[in-house]
Amino acid sequence: MATLQHEKFLLMPTSSIPSLTTWVETPKHTDFTIYSLPFGVFKSKKLSPRIGMAIGDQVIDLSVLDQEGFFANLFLPEGIFLKDSLNELIELGKQKTKKIRERVQQLLLQENEELRTHSIRGKVLIKSQEVEMLLPVKIGDYTDFYSSMEHATNVGKMFRDPENALLPNWKHLPVGYHGRASSIVVSGTPIRRPKGQFKDANMDKPAFGPSRSMDFELELAFITGKSTQLGDSVSTKDAEDYIFGMVLFNDWSARDIQAWEYVPLGPFLGKNFGSSISPWVLPLEALEPFRVAGPVQDPEVLPYLSCSKDHNFDIQLEVGLQPEGQKESKICASNFKYMYWNMAQQLAHHTVNGCNIQVGDVMASGTISGPTPDSFGSMLELSWRGTKPLVLESGEERSFLQDGDTVVMRGFCEKDGIRVGFGEVRGKLLPAT
């Protein structure tokens, strides 16, 4: 059995990280270390959809552990891991899901022989290439925020007055909009180039056709773990109790369609054709050692948005672009710690008017751009609206995405030799129908 120190790791409120070693062989620099243990949903040719965890390049079938009695002391509902989404598991509450992760972590420790020498070990650990990852949650509602000051400033400079790039409300509230949940897809699902109206400055009237300015947006999203009643609100102090975990998020964007349609009510066809999320949900407690202070907010926010502790996290992010048949080029390196508005403020603002939330709602950060040109989180910014095309390793240039391009986003935290990661979210852009 694990020591008391090991048992407490997943609940530790401090930034110190105990040294843990697992008997499972894992690739060097894997995101899925014994410190990560994210939840996901998978199936295979032999297995129906079920819930698992990731360790290295293998998937842990939690249903087998449950059937063999490894979770007997947790008093879990029968068949809780034989589900096609995480929603019912998440709804059990953080106390239960934390104990599940603690128990799995114990079983994977080098000094623990319970699973290592057990006859069902081969059924519990499955090679990642043998499974298909599914959408991790049934998404009721989806909200996208606009919380990076660097990104909002860049867009303001390009499309409005460079001297007054931020609109008057931006530093007073986390700007957001409600998007389409039905078109959120799991990593690996191709995205088809959308069609819609667009109108350039030199055009007398709008035209219709496939978007000519396809883009990605580098984002993270949090998944809500508790529901509220209509009329209730969530404070910044309590917000993290309602956040189960996080995923990587690519909010694909058709910039020309968006530019023509967004006044006065915001994005519509330029956004709702597809967004991609990573299949593994990293619980918030796995990120605890990487908590950092966010940017200083000036002017001072209204009381309902004030925070008594830090809610930003040092999550390193990168984007790769791979033309069809070519090598991948790293085109962006950013960090979640740059976000001006944090998750607690986003959720508090979202619910302050009494808007109710449901287990499994997805709330995305908005594009995560940093202070330097190589940290900009979209093609719009990296190519500065097409005026400074990117040169890829293949020698090809890109102002916006071309058909056949694959966008790959990755995210991880690293400190004192300890790595916790999200894996990746990837999607290939297909031609319009």
> Does 171 lie in the same domain as 111?
no
Q: How many domains does the chain have?
A: 2
Q: How far apart are CA 13 and CA 405, in angstroms?
A: 42
Same domain membership, residue 193 and residue 212: yes
Q: Which CATH number is 334's domain given?
A: 3.90.850.10
pLDDT over 70 at 167, yes or no: yes
- Whether residues 152 and 204 share a domain: the answer is yes
Kindly tell me if the per-residue pLDDT of 5 is higher than 70: no
- Write down the pLDDT at residue 314: 98
Q: 25 and 76 share a domain?
A: yes
Domain that holds residue 287: 142-430
Same domain for 118 and 171? Answer: no
Q: What does the pLDDT look like over 297-344, one tens digit per residue? A: 999 999 999 999 999 999 999 999 999 999 999 999 999 999 999 999
Across the range 264-288, mean pLDDT stands at: 97
What is d(CA 261, CA 171) in angstroms, rounded to the nearest whole number?
24
SS in 3 state form for the chain? CCCHHHHHHHHCCCCCCCCCCECCCCCCCCCCCCCCCCEEEEECCCCCCEEEEEECCEEEEHHHHHHCCCCHHHCCCCCCCCCCCCHHHHHCCHHHHHHHHHHHHHHHECCCCCCCCCCCHHHHEEEHHHCEECCCCCCCCEEEECCCHHHHHHHHHHHCCHHHCCCCCCCCCCCEEEECCCCEEECCCCEECCEEEECCCCCCCCEEEECCCEECEEEEEEEECCCCCCCCCCCCCCHHHHEEEEEEEECCEEHHHHHHHCCCCCCCCCCCCCEEECCCEEEHHHHHHHEECCCCCCCCCCHHHCCCCCCEECCEEEEEEECCCCCCEEEEEEEHHHCCCCHHHHHHHHHCCCCCCCCCCEEECCCCCCCCHHHCCEHHHHCCCCCCCEECCCCCEECCCCCCCEEEEEEEEEECCEEEEEEEEEEEEECCC
pLDDT of 18 reads 75
Whether the predicted pLDDT of 12 surpasses 50: no
Express each pLDDT in 95-136 by its tens digit: 999 999 999 999 999 999 999 999 999 999 999 999 999 999
Same domain for 197 and 113: no
- Mean pLDDT, the chain, whole residue set: 95
For residues 295 and 397, state if they share a domain.
yes
Domain termination site, one of 66, 101, 133: 133
C-beta of residue 12 within 8 angstroms of C-beta of residue 115: no
- Which CATH number is 33's domain given? 2.30.30.230
User: What residues are annotated to the active site?
Assistant: 151
pLDDT in tens, 278-303: 999 999 999 999 999 999 999 999 99
Domain boundary among 70, 105, 133: 133
Report pTM: 0.95
Q: What pLDDT does residue 14 have?
A: 40
Predicted confidence (pLDDT) per residue in 340-383, tens digit: 999 999 999 999 999 999 999 999 999 999 999 999 999 999 99
- Do 179 and 128 sit in the same domain of this protein? no
- Does 111 lie in the same domain as 156? no
- Decide: 403 and 430 in contact? Cβ < 8 Å: yes
Which pLDDT does position 16 carry in this prediction? Answer: 62
Q: Is 392's pLDDT higher than 60? A: yes
Domain check: are 252 and 362 in the same one?
A: yes
Domain ends where: 133, 152, 171? 133
Query: To 10 degrees, the CA torsion angle through 367, 368, 372, 374?
Result: -80
Percent of the chain with pLDDT strictly greater than 90: 94
Question: Cis before residue 373, ω within 30 degrees of 0?
Answer: no
Q: What is the pLDDT of residue 114?
A: 97
Task: Assess whether 310 and 364 both reside in one domain.
Answer: yes
> Are 216 and 236 found together in one domain?
yes
Backbone angles phi, psi at 4, to 5 degrees: -60, -35
